[in-house]
Structure 1
Amino acid sequence: MAISAAGKFRDTATFGFELEFLMLFRGSGTTDPLRLEKGEQQRRVPHPIQEEPGDLTDDGDGPHEVHTKRLQYFGREIAKKLTDAGIITSYRRRAHPEDVEIPESEDEEPGLGDFDEFRYSSYKQNAIVPEETMIWTDPAANGRRMTVKPEAQAGYFWLGLEFVSKAHKYRDFDIAKSDLDTVCKVLRANYAVSINVGKDTADRSSRCATHVHWGISGAEYDLVTVKRILTLMWVAEEKLMRLHATWRQDATKYAALLQKGTNMATACPLTCPDWTNKPGTGNWVREMDQNVPPKVQRSLHREQPKIRWLWRAETVSDLASLVGEVTKLRRASVAITELLPATSNFIGKVRRSQLNTIEFRHMQGSLNPTLIAAWIEVTAEIMCRCIESPPEDFSSFMTDVADCVADENGTEQELLSKLGVRREACLIFRDFNQQQLDEEANPMISRFLPDPYDGRDRGASRAGRSPSHDR
């Protein structure tokens, strides 16, 4: 079976992406040059580090006020540079819609998946927003988020920011890739930008990530489609993670892998639906039999039939409970909480919005447009097969995927081929192998991303590696 994203999916799919990054700036009046730590292989700071205006803050400002003013000033400056380069971008205080944008209860609710049509104006334009999980900004947090704040030399400070794209139509993917290329070049050419200077603690990480949201225009996700996506990722996710930096496998706080950190993985009795002990029977059994081959249905995880749990779920809330993160029901690596209404009281619903998207949160931070676009293509093929395939074809497809995953000698390249990913995109992941991505995530090796226009970057000095691999 060969289903391509060139069919119905290509005409209806919409997507958006989020790029997290950190930037280093100089405090007003700082004259001491930045000193790199011993052992770093970065030979020079790639760009002059910008200094904040002398009148930006005053002596009466507390840490939170200083940080907020800096975010607003530099966030607006970055948005202007992107706009000047042809990528219309604004600065927003939050990544998600403000409370004033929440639909009134009497308003007509948007259909699941109408990412390009629904009423939130926030996603009709690109935005630079603060990334609050990487840098503490909340004065009510009593310092809890300060534990992951990257440390800077005296006189310098880091800002955690995020580029949130507008909603793109997948049929215009080539245009979106061109925009992505410009965004990455502008950020890397004008700022001391990093994706790896964050640090980890026992239960959280301030390292950067890349997220991809998928919706469908003019149609709705149905529950079977959502179950298919979660079933496919439950089976294939571990091997797919070989495409990304290894540290992402342990990022359980904000991207819990389905088989490692979710409620259903641990069979958490406090957060899983009470029927998980005895799923029983019903119409869901027929749907599961149509879509999932017996060998996958019978597979056990910690001696329990977790696939059957997915298909037993009667609502999106049930599924969100199963794939939530254990301690706070936060977002898993495949996040579906944006399918819930903005007014939902689901405990893991941290955004007061209904974006009607399914979000893939697997990828490490990156400002390399080629690699990001390749991962978007992978997620597109996953979505395509789960949306378009007739039940018998999807069941056959799942058999092929399960066999590939079970083969100890099977490679991630073979899995990508099973998914239908273009050969050109597959080869990109060979260039960006996992060892290289782990090196890039190590701040002792790569703190700053080099200017993509500068042929003298650090990649040129590595044996057997061309500079283009680091861009």
Structure 2
Amino acid sequence: MDAPKRVEFSDVGTFGFELEFLVYLSESNITQLNPKPGEASQPFQQTLQEPYDLAKRGNGDHELHMKRLHHFGVEIADKLTEAGIPTAYREKGHPKDDDAPKLDQEDARLGSFDEFRYSSYKQCTIVPEETMIWTDPKNGKRMAVRPETEDGHFWLGFEFVSKVFRYRDFEPMKLELETVCKTLRAKYSVSINAGKDSVHGSSRCSVHVHWGISGKEYNLLTVKRVLTLMWVTEDSLMDLHATWRGDARKYAALLQHGTNMAVDNTSKLPDWIDNLDNGDWRHEMEQNVPTEVRNSLHMNKAKIQWIWRAETVDDLVMLVGEVKKSRRASVAITELLPAASDFAGKVRRSQLNTIEFRHMQGSLNPALTTAWIDVTASIMRRCIDLSAQEFRSFIEDVSTCVSDKNLTVYYLLNKLGVGRETCNVFRSFDQEYLDKEADSRISVFLPEL
């Protein structure tokens, strides 16, 4: 009898992505100006205007803001649907409690193991992105980091949440993503770079990529592999993104810089960090991680060993949680926790069974976004497909590559198995270009494709 075929990433991988963006609009009482002959039209003169009576229906800044979000969120979803991308507007960016999956559903979706499949992700959605622009319902004031506006105009923050794709549907996904980006940029004065940072928050946009596995739950070994590989490579991979993303610690803290384990945030770390003992975990670590990697020091401690010492997902979530709220760092794994979990950093009551990569700056360029999704796919593939011996050898090669300061990030991409076409996309959008795009003093509105 033939041995059963080992399940491979290409067969079980599922993914979805989130695109944050800002839309510039004018109030209902503003008269749109026409440019003089020979004078270039300013972006704000081309913005869509809210319905005449919408402002009258608002009672205070917060209520008006929410009405605007709902009105234009529905409109954007309709525009995407007309373009061939069926999209719904949702008031919240997470499944509702009554969106419970049916146990007889056979199709594998994000959060794929049977009792946690959500119909919300069977189609694309537009949801408000309130971390970029929000209002306080208690006093009606908007947050301090909102982007600047011309008189009589306002910004709204949204997020496009894709439906779930199987990894084998990567090529059709690329076509859908291109349609989404073209539609948003053609129909609206849209930006991903009009925001700014403050001590308390950021209104800058980002791209998030979720990876799930069809029909099964992540095992602890796979999660440890992903975190180990990203701990080793993350700083180098950030050369692919805008420079400012490395400092975005509130919502995407890098593993070696802004997480609980990175800064020795003892109050939020497991009590065993100073006494790792010699349990079975050491054997598993030695099988998967070469000596020079597992003994490498960070703040004079071999913190890779902390990852492998963890006995539960809760332990790992605490290790890689961002410091202030232990929520979602650059590699977010809170969606591996049960929906009923009382973990303090879990902000939505769902269990999507996904590992989320939150590194990339905002973008509505389909080629660049697709390229980053492809990189994360290469990371997931190696963490799922390789045997212990193969993974150990792979990590050793990657670590050697990263430690050689004469080698570029593109050499690392080659080690990760990323193709030449994807590498060329990143070369055409180098950090200097991305930093200029994120500087609102230089460019607020996105150029045409």
For residue 51 of structure 2, the aligned residue among 28, 53, 66 is 53
**Local SS of the residue matching 1:377:** helix
8 Å CA contact 1:125–1:165 kept in 2: the answer is yes
After TM superposition, give the deviation of residue 48 of structure 1 in Å: 2.1
For residue 213 of structure 1, the aligned residue among 210, 224, 232 is 210
The answer as to 2:28 corresponding to 1:14 is: no
Amino acid at match of 1:53: P
8 Å CA contact 2:28–2:55 kept in 1: the answer is no
**Local SS of the residue matching 2:401:** helix
After TM superposition, give the deviation of residue 100 of structure 1 in Å: 3.0
8 Å CA contact 1:26–1:50 kept in 2: the answer is yes
8 Å CA contact 1:115–1:357 kept in 2: the answer is no
8 Å CA contact 2:111–2:351 kept in 1: the answer is no
For residue 118 of structure 2, the aligned residue among 117, 120, 124 is 120
8 Å CA contact 1:112–1:356 kept in 2: the answer is no
Give the distance between the partners of 1:238 and 1:43, measured in 2 at CA: 41
Percent of pairs with identical residues: 60
8 Å CA contact 1:316–1:339 kept in 2: the answer is yes
Amino acid at match of 2:149: A
- 1:111 to 1:337, Cα distance in 2 relative to 1, 3 A: farther
The answer as to 2:343 corresponding to 1:329 is: no
In structure 2, what is the equivalent of residue 91 of structure 1?
Answer: 89
- 1:330 to 1:203, Cα distance in 2 relative to 1, 3 A: same
8 Å CA contact 1:111–1:356 kept in 2: the answer is no
In structure 1, what is the equivalent of residue 315 of structure 2?
Answer: 318
Give the distance between the partners of 2:437 and 2:143, measured in 1 at CA: 24
Give the distance between the partners of 1:19 and 1:111, measured in 2 at CA: 23
Amino acid at match of 2:72: F
Amino acid at match of 2:272: W
8 Å CA contact 1:14–1:215 kept in 2: the answer is yes
8 Å CA contact 1:296–1:402 kept in 2: the answer is yes
After TM superposition, give the deviation of residue 173 of structure 1 in Å: 0.5
For residue 422 of structure 1, the aligned residue among 399, 419, 444 is 419
Q: How does 1:367-446 map to 2 (within 5 A)?
A: 367-446=364-443
The worse-fitting range, judged by mean Cα deviation, of 272-281 and 52-61 is 52-61
Q: Deviations over 1:449-470 (max 9, x none)?
A: 1233xxxxxxxxxxxxxxxxxx
**Local SS of the residue matching 1:299:** coil
For residue 65 of structure 2, the aligned residue among 67, 70, 79 is 67
8 Å CA contact 2:8–2:384 kept in 1: the answer is no
**Local SS of the residue matching 1:264:** coil
- 1:260 to 1:23, Cα distance in 2 relative to 1, 3 A: same
Amino acid at match of 2:427: R
The worse-fitting range, judged by mean Cα deviation, of 228-237 and 120-129 is 120-129
Give the distance between the partners of 1:154 and 1:116, measured in 2 at CA: 51
8 Å CA contact 1:296–1:307 kept in 2: the answer is yes
Amino acid at match of 1:134: M
In structure 1, what is the equivalent of residue 4 of structure 2?
Answer: none
- 1:61 to 1:259, Cα distance in 2 relative to 1, 3 A: same
Amino acid at match of 1:415: L
Q: How does 1:241-320 map to 2 (within 5 A)?
A: 241-320=238-317
In structure 1, what is the equivalent of residue 357 of structure 2?
Answer: 360
Q: Deviations over 1:238-258 (max 9, x none)?
A: 000000000000000000000
The answer as to 2:235 corresponding to 1:234 is: no
8 Å CA contact 1:21–1:161 kept in 2: the answer is yes
- 1:59 to 1:356, Cα distance in 2 relative to 1, 3 A: closer
After TM superposition, give the deviation of residue 44 of structure 1 in Å: 3.7
Q: How does 1:101-250 map to 2 (within 5 A)?
A: 101=99, 114-115=111-112, 118-140=116-138, 143=141, 146-250=143-247
Amino acid at match of 1:414: Y
After TM superposition, give the deviation of residue 99 of structure 1 in Å: 3.2
In structure 2, what is the equivalent of residue 458 of structure 1?
Answer: none
Give the distance between the partners of 1:80 and 1:113, measured in 2 at CA: 24
**Local SS of the residue matching 1:331:** coil
- 1:113 to 1:367, Cα distance in 2 relative to 1, 3 A: closer
Give the distance between the partners of 2:140 and 2:397, measured in 1 at CA: 50
Query: RMSD in angstroms over aligned alpha carbons?
Result: 2.4
Give the distance between the partners of 1:379 and 1:448, measured in 2 at CA: 28
Give the distance between the partners of 2:138 and 2:126, measured in 1 at CA: 24
- 1:331 to 1:448, Cα distance in 2 relative to 1, 3 A: same
Give the distance between the partners of 1:146 and 1:32, measured in 2 at CA: 27
The worse-fitting range, judged by mean Cα deviation, of 42-51 and 333-342 is 42-51
- 1:414 to 1:34, Cα distance in 2 relative to 1, 3 A: farther
8 Å CA contact 2:190–2:445 kept in 1: the answer is yes
8 Å CA contact 1:180–1:369 kept in 2: the answer is yes
- Normalising to structure 1: TM-score of the pair? 0.89
After TM superposition, give the deviation of residue 203 of structure 1 in Å: 3.9
Give the distance between the partners of 2:176 and 2:364, measured in 1 at CA: 13
Give the distance between the partners of 1:163 and 1:8, measured in 2 at CA: 29
Give the distance between the partners of 1:102 and 1:8, measured in 2 at CA: 28
- 1:115 to 1:152, Cα distance in 2 relative to 1, 3 A: farther
Count of residues in Structure 1 that have an aligned counterpart in Structure 2: 437
Give the distance between the partners of 2:104 and 2:178, measured in 1 at CA: 38
Amino acid at match of 1:15: F
Give the distance between the partners of 2:45 and 2:379, measured in 1 at CA: 39
**Local SS of the residue matching 1:324:** coil
Q: Deviations over 1:329-365 (max 9, x none)?
A: 0101000000001110111101111111000000000
**Local SS of the residue matching 1:139:** coil
The structure 1 segments of at least 4 consecutive aligned residues displaced by more than 2 Å after TM superposition are: 32-35, 99-104, 110-119, 140-143
After TM superposition, give the deviation of residue 114 of structure 1 in Å: 4.1
Give the distance between the partners of 2:113 and 2:443, measured in 1 at CA: 37
- 1:46 to 1:183, Cα distance in 2 relative to 1, 3 A: farther
Amino acid at match of 1:183: V
In structure 1, what is the equivalent of residue 26 of structure 2?
Answer: 26
After TM superposition, give the deviation of residue 122 of structure 1 in Å: 1.0
Q: Deviations over 1:138-167 (max 9, x none)?
A: 415875x61221221110000000100011
Q: Deviations over 1:25-82 (max 9, x none)?
A: 00002026499xxxxxx97428821000011131661111101111111111111110
Q: Which has the higher contact order (CA 8 A, sep 6+)?
A: 1
Give the distance between the partners of 1:14 and 1:251, measured in 2 at CA: 27
Give the distance between the partners of 1:107 and 1:339, measured in 2 at CA: 22
**Local SS of the residue matching 2:53:** coil
Give the distance between the partners of 2:218 and 2:34, measured in 1 at CA: 51
